[in-house]
Structure 1
Amino acid sequence: MDVVIVGGGPNGLVLACELALGGVRPVVLERLTEPSAEPRSNGLVGQVVRVVDRRGLFERLGGRPGPPTPNNAYFMFAAMPLNLSLLADSPVYALPVPEVQTVRVLEERARELGVDVRRGHSFTGFTQDDDGVTVTAEGPEGPYELRTRYLVGADSAHSPVRKAAGIGFPGVTYDRSTHRAAHVTVPAEWIDPVSGALDVPGHGRILPFLPIRTDHGGFTYAPLPDRPALIATAEWDEPATDEPMTLDEMRASVRRVLGVDVPLDPPHGAGPHVLRRLNGGNTRVAERYRDGRVFLVGDAAHVFAAGGTGLNLGMQDAVNLGWKLAAAVRGGQDVLDTYEAERRPAAERAVTYAQAQAALLSPGEDVTGLRALFGELLTQPDVVRVLADLISGTDVRYPVGDGAHPLVGRFAPDLDLRTADGEVRLAELVRRARPLLVDLTADGHLDVEGVEVVRAKADTAVTALLLRPDSYVAWASDDEHPDRDGLREAAARWFGRGDRPDA
C-alpha cells in the first residue's frame, strides 16, 4: 500500500484525489460512517476557488457553470468594508457551498478515481521504520493493520496522528471571546428586496455577509442561498457555561450587541440547523509538518481564529503535498522536504490575518480609535491590495532562488490560450495534474523530457511557463528565445526523469 490518509473531510479527500491523479491509489480512513450533517463552513474563499476550477470541480461544487469570477465589489476585513472596486484585478474569489456538499462532491470524485474510502474505520496508532509505516485501525469487523509507505494526518485540530507522532502544537488560546451562531427566520418586512440588507429598527441597515462591530460586540447577518439566514454574534468576557445553546440565548446576545430586539424565529425547512456557542478560539501551528514518513495537512497542521479562510489553506496543503507524495511513491524526484518549506509560510500569513482581525475587533475606546485610523487607510488602493492578497492567499510566494522570474513560485495566472485546436483556458489544461510546459514563443520550439507541451498564443508578455502539477510556476520567461538550460534545470529539480505516470 502506498499512502494511508486519516480523515475523510475536505482536506483528506482533496489529497486522495491528487494522489489518484498522480497514479497512486490511497486508502482513506474515516471514523464517521456517513458524512457529517453538522453545519460547518459555508463556502470556499480565496485562491482555493481557482484551485477547484483547475481540477474541474467548480461547477460540481457550486451548481453553476464556470469559470469563477472574482469579487470586484466589496468584502470585509475586521468588520470594516474593503472596497475591491479600487483594484484593477481583485484576487478575492468566493464559492458559497456548505461543507457537507463539499465533502459529498469530493468523496464522489475520489471514488470515481478509484480511491478506497473506508467509512467507519478509526485510526488507533502507528509505528514507522526506514521502509514504511504500520498503521493500526479499528473497523466494523475489529482491529487490523495496514502497511504503507506514507501516512498523512488530515484528521482535524485534535489530530490523533499528530499526537501519535509526538508533534507539538504550540500557539495561543483566546478565552475572552464567546461566539454564537444560529440559523433563524427574520421578519420578511425587514429585508430590503434590492440589496438584501436587514433593516433593524432602532439600529439601522446591516448589509448581508458584512460583519459589524459595536461597543458591545460583533454581529453578522448571512442570508445564504437556499438556506435559512445565519445570524452570528461575538462578545467578550462572558462567564463560561455548559448549558445547551438556545434560541432565547441567541436573541439576548443580539440585543446586547445591537442594543435593540430583533425577532428571531426558528428556521424553516429540513435541518440540520446551526445553533451553537463557542467559547474562545485557538491559533496554533504544528512544530513540524513531517515526522519521517508521516505528514500533516489542514487543521492537523494549523488552526486559527479567522472565519472563511481555513479551507483555503488546508485544501491547498493537500494539493501541494499530493503530487510530491505521488512522485516519491513512483520513484520520481523526491521533493517532499519542500512541502513544509512552502506551506508553513502560508500558515504563518493566515495567523497574521487572524491576529490582526482579532486585535481590530476587540472592545475598547483605544481599539475604536485604531479602527477610525485604519478606516482611513482603507481608502487607499495599495492598502486594499495588501489586504485582498492576504485574504485570498495570493501574497504567498514559494521560496525561489535569486534572480527568478517574478511568476516563479506563484500560482499560474489565468490565461486564455489560442492553440491549433482552438481556444482553451489554461485552467482546463491542468486538470490531469501533470507537469506542463506552455510554449508561447513565436516558433514554438521549446521541449523538455517527460513534460507535456502545449504550444499556443496568448495576450501576455510571458513567452513560456513551466507548471508543476499544483499549477504553481516552476520556471518562466519573457524572452522570445528562452534559456533552455534554465528550463531543463527547473524540470530536473522538480520532476526528474520518468516523473509522469502512465496516461
Structure 2
Amino acid sequence: MDADVVIVGAGPAGLMLAGELRLGGARVVVAEKLAHPTGQSRGLGFTTRAMETFDQRGLLPRFGALETSPMGHFGGVQFDYTVLEGAHFGARGVPQSKTEAVLEDWATELGADIRRGWEFRSLTDHGDRVEVTALADGSEQRLTAAYVVGCDGGQSAVRKAAGIGFPGTPATRDMYLADIEGIDLAPRFLGERMPAGMVMAAPLGGGTHRIIVCPHDTAPRERGEAIGFDEVADAWRRITGEDISGATATWVSSFTDATRQATAYRAGRVLLAGDAAHIHLPAGGQGLSFGVQDSANLGWKLAAEVAGWAPAGLLDTYHGERHPAGQRLLANTRVQGMSFLGGEEADPLRELLTELLAYDDVKRHLAGRVSHVDVRYEVGPGDHPLLGRRLPPRTLRTPAGPVTTAELLHPGQGVLLDLTGHPALPEEVAGWKDRVTAVSAVPEPVDGAKAAADPLADTAALLVRPDGYVVWAVWADDGAHDGAGEGTGELTDALRRWFGSPGTYGA
C-alpha cells in the first residue's frame, strides 16, 4: 500500500491526526487540494481542552506566549470561567493560520507526507483496503491505504463518497466576517445587539480589526457565491448606522447558523473528523478545538489498528465517544445562537441565562461545556471521579525530578501513574511496556480549599490513555473508600480493553 492512512484535508483536524498517527508508527499521506496555505484565519484561538491537548504533545512552546482569558460568555452573557478548576475561556488571539503552521511543522517532523495540490475525487472501499483517486498536476493519481479519514470540512467530499448522512438544521441566515484596515473602530468584544442585527469588533494588532456582522434580514447565499466587502459594509451600516466603506478589507468571508452532524463517524475503512463530522455556529470558538480533540481521540486508536495490537472494538469507540460529545457541542452552540443572535423574541432567554449564571454550579456546568473539560467517556466500571475524564494538569514529583502530567503524555503512549509506590503495579504493566509507560510520582500539594476537591487526593494509581483520559483508577488504602488498596485485577482488564493483549509489537 502507498500508506497505512490517507487523510484528506490539511486543516487543524487533518494535521493533528497526521501527527498522532505518526506517533503511533502509522505511515501517513495527507492529500490537500490547496497548493499553498491560504493564510486566512477563521479561528482566533482554542479552548482550554484543546490547549491541554497541544500541551500533551509538547506543542505549546511553538505558539509563543499565549494569553488566556478568565472571563468568557455563554450566549453573550459574560461570566468567570475560572470558577471551574482548571478552566478558562481559552487561548485568544492565535490565528488559525498559526495553529495550522505549528501542526504542519510537527506532523512533517514526525514523518507525515503532506501533498498539496492533491484534490480528492473518489474512493473505493474494497473491504481490506481503500483506493483513493485525486487530481494532481493535471492528472489522476491513485493511492491505496488501509484507511481513509475525511478531514475536508463541512462540504466533505469524503463523507459524500462514503455515503454517510449529514442531517441537521439548515442555515437560516448569512453572516459575515472581515479583517479590515485603515479605520478606527471601538471594540465590541462580546457583540452588540441592535434592532437590525448584531455586530462584533476586536483589534488584531497592527491596525487590523476583525469584524463580525450578523444581520437579521439576510437569507443564506448559494454555496460558493462570492461576497464583497461592499456587502459587509452595507450590512454594518444598516445595523449600526456607521460608515466603514472607506476601510480596506484584507479578507472577507461568510458563515451560517447551519447545524449538522454525520450519522456515523466510521463507515468500514472510512472515517471522519472535524468539520467533516459536524458543523455549527462558531459560538465560543469551539469548532477548531473540537476537531483537534476528534483527532486526538482517533489517532492512537487508528494507529493501534494499523500496528496490530488494537483490541476488538477499539476503533469503534471513536464514534461511540465522539458522536455523543458532538451532539452536546451542537446543542450548546444552538442555544448560544438563539441567545446571541435573536432579536426581542430572545430577551426572555437572555434574562433567564443572566439569572442562572448568578449560581456557581451553573457557571461550572456551562464553563465545562464550552471549555470542553467536562467531556466524560464510558470506559468501564468504577466509582472514581476521574474515570472517563481527562487527567487534570498537575505537577508531580518523581525520582528524576518534577514533571507535569502533560509531559508524561508527550510520546503518545499510555501511562500507568503510580502515586503510592504500590509494588505490584509495575509488574502488572510489564507485558504492555511497548504501549504503556509506568511512572511513580507524588503530586505536588494543592493549596487551601482546592485540596478538598483535589481529584488526585486519596488516589493510589491511574491508567491513562494516550489522549489523556483516565480508564482505570484505584483509591489509596486509607480505609475511606470501598475497594481501597485493591484493583490490580481490574487493571489487567483495563489494559486488555484499551491496549490489547500483552506482547511486543512493531519489533
The aligned residue for residue 284 of structure 1 is 260
Counterparts of 1:449-460 in structure 2 under 5 Å?
A: 449-450=431-432, 451-458=436-443, 459=445, 460=456
The aligned residue for residue 305 of structure 1 is 281
The reply on whether 1:117 has 2:114 as its aligned counterpart is: yes
The aligned residue for residue 74 of structure 2 is 77
Counterparts of 1:461-480 in structure 2 under 5 Å?
A: 461=457, 462-480=459-477
Quote the Cα distance in structure 2 between the aligned partners of 1:469 and 1:436.
7
Counterparts of 1:308-327 in structure 2 under 5 Å?
A: 308-327=285-304
Question: Structure 1 residues 277 and 312, CA, compared in 2 at 3 Å: closer, same or farther?
Answer: closer
Question: Structure 1 residues 346 and 69, CA, compared in 2 at 3 Å: closer, same or farther?
Answer: farther
Contact 1:467 1:474 survives alignment (8 Å)? yes
Counterpart secondary structure, 1:414: coil
What TM-score do you get using the length of structure 1 for normalisation?
A: 0.88
Select between 409-418 and 218-227 the one with higher mean Cα deviation. 218-227
Select between 408-417 and 86-95 the one with higher mean Cα deviation. 86-95
Quote the Cα distance in structure 1 between the aligned partners of 2:138 and 2:213.
45
Quote the Cα distance in structure 2 between the aligned partners of 1:425 and 1:111.
26
Counterpart secondary structure, 1:37: coil
- The structure 2 residue matched to 1:257, chosen from 236, 239, 257, is 239
Deviation at 1:138, TM superposition (A): 2.3
Quote the Cα distance in structure 1 between the aligned partners of 2:504 and 2:338.
47
The aligned residue for residue 364 of structure 2 is 385
- The structure 2 residue matched to 1:409, chosen from 369, 388, 413, is 388
The aligned residue for residue 160 of structure 1 is 157
Quote the Cα distance in structure 1 between the aligned partners of 2:163 and 2:362.
41
Q: Deviations over 1:378-409 (max 9, x none)?
A: 22111111111111112221113343422111
Select between 213-222 and 446-455 the one with higher mean Cα deviation. 213-222
Structure 1 unpaired stretches of 5+: 191-197, 199-205
Deviation at 1:297, TM superposition (A): 0.7
Question: Structure 1 residues 247 and 133, CA, compared in 2 at 3 Å: closer, same or farther?
Answer: closer
Quote the Cα distance in structure 2 between the aligned partners of 1:484 and 1:69.
42
- The structure 1 residue matched to 2:492, chosen from 484, 488, 494, is 488
Q: Deviations over 1:437-467 (max 9, x none)?
A: 1110145542212121111111331221111
Deviation at 1:174, TM superposition (A): 2.5
Deviation at 1:244, TM superposition (A): 5.9
The aligned residue for residue 202 of structure 1 is none
Select between 435-444 and 287-296 the one with higher mean Cα deviation. 435-444
Contact 2:35 2:117 survives alignment (8 Å)? yes
The aligned residue for residue 177 of structure 2 is 181
Deviation at 1:53, TM superposition (A): 1.0
Select between 24-33 and 233-242 the one with higher mean Cα deviation. 233-242
Deviation at 1:355, TM superposition (A): 1.1
Q: Deviations over 1:318-345 (max 9, x none)?
A: 1111101111111102410100000001
Contact 1:306 1:357 survives alignment (8 Å)? no
Quote the Cα distance in structure 1 between the aligned partners of 2:232 and 2:106.
38
Counterparts of 1:415-430 in structure 2 under 5 Å?
A: 415-430=394-409
What TM-score do you get using the length of structure 2 for normalisation?
A: 0.87
Quote the Cα distance in structure 1 between the aligned partners of 2:69 and 2:486.
35
Q: Deviations over 1:89-140 (max 9, x none)?
A: 4353224321122222211111111111111112221212232112222222
Percent identical residues: 40
Contact 2:68 2:91 survives alignment (8 Å)? yes
Question: Structure 1 residues 300 and 32, CA, compared in 2 at 3 Å: closer, same or farther?
Answer: same
Quote the Cα distance in structure 2 between the aligned partners of 1:499 and 1:397.
30
Question: Structure 1 residues 92 and 3, CA, compared in 2 at 3 Å: closer, same or farther?
Answer: same
- The structure 2 residue matched to 1:237, chosen from 217, 229, 234, is 217
Quote the Cα distance in structure 1 between the aligned partners of 2:422 and 2:226.
69
Quote the Cα distance in structure 1 between the aligned partners of 2:260 and 2:228.
30
Q: Deviations over 1:295-320 (max 9, x none)?
A: 11111111111341001111111111
User: How many equivalent residue pairs?
Assistant: 475
Quote the Cα distance in structure 2 between the aligned partners of 1:231 and 1:7.
27
Deviation at 1:45, TM superposition (A): 2.2
- Which residue identity lines up with residue 61 of structure 2 in the other structure? E
Quote the Cα distance in structure 1 between the aligned partners of 2:281 and 2:367.
18
- Which residue identity lines up with residue 370 of structure 2 in the other structure? I
Deviation at 1:245, TM superposition (A): 4.2
Deviation at 1:29, TM superposition (A): 0.9
Quote the Cα distance in structure 1 between the aligned partners of 2:227 and 2:126.
47
Deviation at 1:57, TM superposition (A): 0.9
The reply on whether 1:266 has 2:270 as its aligned counterpart is: no
Q: Deviations over 1:231-288 (max 9, x none)?
A: 2121113356789645454344333333x42656535xxxx8222344x431101111
Contact 1:71 1:90 survives alignment (8 Å)? no
The aligned residue for residue 171 of structure 1 is 168
Quote the Cα distance in structure 1 between the aligned partners of 2:218 and 2:365.
34
Contact 2:396 2:441 survives alignment (8 Å)? yes
Select between 135-144 and 370-379 the one with higher mean Cα deviation. 135-144
The aligned residue for residue 41 of structure 1 is 43
Quote the Cα distance in structure 1 between the aligned partners of 2:99 and 2:374.
25
The aligned residue for residue 146 of structure 1 is 143
Quote the Cα distance in structure 2 between the aligned partners of 1:17 and 1:167.
26
The reply on whether 1:294 has 2:273 as its aligned counterpart is: no
Quote the Cα distance in structure 1 between the aligned partners of 2:168 and 2:192.
27
Quote the Cα distance in structure 1 between the aligned partners of 2:220 and 2:382.
54
Contact 1:136 1:144 survives alignment (8 Å)? yes
Structure 2 unpaired stretches of 5+: 446-455, 478-484
Contact 2:67 2:92 survives alignment (8 Å)? no
Contact 2:198 2:341 survives alignment (8 Å)? no
Deviation at 1:363, TM superposition (A): 3.6
Q: Deviations over 1:327-384 (max 9, x none)?
A: 1111102410100000001110111111101221344433113312321222211111
Contact 1:285 1:302 survives alignment (8 Å)? yes
CA RMSD of aligned residues (A): 2.4
Contact 1:23 1:501 survives alignment (8 Å)? no
Quote the Cα distance in structure 2 between the aligned partners of 1:370 and 1:337.
38
Select between 34-43 and 108-117 the one with higher mean Cα deviation. 34-43
Select between 388-397 and 491-500 the one with higher mean Cα deviation. 491-500
Question: Structure 1 residues 141 and 275, CA, compared in 2 at 3 Å: closer, same or farther?
Answer: closer
The aligned residue for residue 201 of structure 1 is none
